[in-house]
Structure 1
């Protein structure tokens, strides 16, 4: 390959790097924007005042979170164990209770997480409290795409389920269920883990990704400057 061909190829590589640089910077800026959005979201959750009713319009559930304090009576006999729920302590269940609100509406309440037994046939025992309870937590819409994996649920209670499906559970319970899941923030049953992940990716993670994109952009910019100076020097040194 001649020097002219080599230099021409080098220029094409420089042109490609120049086009790539704005993309890296844009990705870094986008991550900064996402970090700010998450920061505002966390702050807004902390400042929200709980409601005392279910939302009339589902659009009220901004960012899949709606803080409430609801008075309800829990079904002591019938509850579900949502299977394969992971925590730092291991794999276990989330306890899903059935709440009857003062308005007459029925709601699935996630009471928290507890560890499972090494023997899958042995289910944990949960004492659902009697009487009217003040349930404080956050509402989220149940994903309509989720379906029960089990083709048949075992007789008796509690029943182990693989996912929430309000329509199927409504048919099983013989009661119309609200399309929401209430995740408690104040414990009703001692020993259940209520450390819900509010966000899959916190602002600090986005800032870390932004730093990586900007670092790559800075390295590429430095390489471009060095390469351009080298190219200019070679052209200046080349005899006319």
Structure 2
């Protein structure tokens, strides 16, 4: 790839659904905090030029992270919502990144990203003019419910995918798309949504379903299991 690759990791959330006094990205996972697993996937990859993590101003846990002083790791202020944190990360990288460089945005609480999936995303999108994201097709039956959790309809699953991260886009295109979305009052929950609002059609790249996001307490032991499988421990 002739263009450089940067990573933004929004990590200012508190993870209320985890019901924990510690933000979910700092919970212990196989001997290290969740976010350390996440960051090391990128910091150890030869095709990644730099990683910017967006942190809350009152973050009291960052200083416990072993890779916090890595020479390719930058810090940006977090925002009220995920989209604000991502934009702050992009602004922090703006002095180093070129217009057509790639930026990959990845959830701090998604520590099970496989190296092979990251390689696949980089390879599949390297010549794309816009970019895309990792995901998996929906295999379950999907229901739409109304008040009272009563089923209103079964939603056809053909063409439906679960959107994962990283989501990888041209630097300036994503920065403008996020800025425009916020100006319009759209608090997009992922970066592909901002690109869609800007009129682009991101590509889906199929990865592994074990690239889970830790959201609820039961996700933590599942992530620990997946990490052991991915690393070959216990096979």
TM-score interval w.r.t. the shorter chain? under 0.3
TM-score where L is the length of structure 2 = 0.21
- Normalised by the length of structure 1, the TM-score is 0.20
> Which structure's residues are more often helix, by fraction?
1
